[in-house]
Amino acid sequence: MSEQPTVIRPYGDMTGDGMVQVSFTLPVPHDKRAEGAALQLAGKMGLSPALLVHAKAMGPSHTFFVVYGSVTHLVDLSQVQVVERDFPLLSAKEVNAAIKKKLRRPLVVVGACIGTDAHTVGIDAILNIKGFAGEKGLEYYSEIHVVNLGAQVLVPYLVERAREEKADAVLVSQVVTQRDAHIHNVTQMSAAFREAYPAGKVPLLIAGGPRFEEGSADALGVDRIFGRGTTPGEVASYLVHALTGPARTERTSA
Number of C-alpha atoms within 13 angstroms, CB side, residue 155?
17
Q: Is 205 in the site for ligand B12 (CB under 6 A)?
A: no
The piece of 48-56, 99-107, 137-145, 205-213 that touches ligand B12 (CB under 6 A) is 205-213
Q: What is the spatial distance between Cα 206 and Cα 224, in angstroms, rounded to a whole number?
A: 5
Q: Is 226 in the site for ligand B12 (CB under 6 A)?
A: yes
Taking the least distance from each CB to ligand B12, the nearer of 9 and 238 is 238
Q: Would you call 65 helix, strand, or coil by DSSP?
A: strand
Q: Is 173 in the site for ligand B12 (CB under 6 A)?
A: yes
Residue nearest to ligand B12 (CB): 208
Q: Which residues contact 166 (CB under 8 A, 6 or more apart)?
A: 108
130 included as an active-site residue: yes
Q: What's the closest the beta carbon of residue 216 comes to ligand B12, in angstroms? A: 14
Q: Is 203 in the site for ligand B12 (CB under 6 A)?
A: no
Q: Is 132 in the site for ligand B12 (CB under 6 A)?
A: yes
Q: Is 228 in the site for ligand B12 (CB under 6 A)?
A: yes
Q: What is the spatial distance between Cα 13 and Cα 78, in angstroms, rounded to a whole number?
A: 25
Among 209, 220, 222, 233, binds ligand B12 (CB under 6 A): 209
- Among candidates 34, 16, 124, 144, which has minimal Cα distance to 70? 16
Q: Is 161 in the site for ligand B12 (CB under 6 A)?
A: no
Please, are residues 20 and 12 in contact by the beta-carbon 8 Å criterion? yes
Please, are residues 251 and 98 in contact by the beta-carbon 8 Å criterion? no
Find the catalytic residue in 130, 136, 166, 201: 130
Catalytic residues: 130
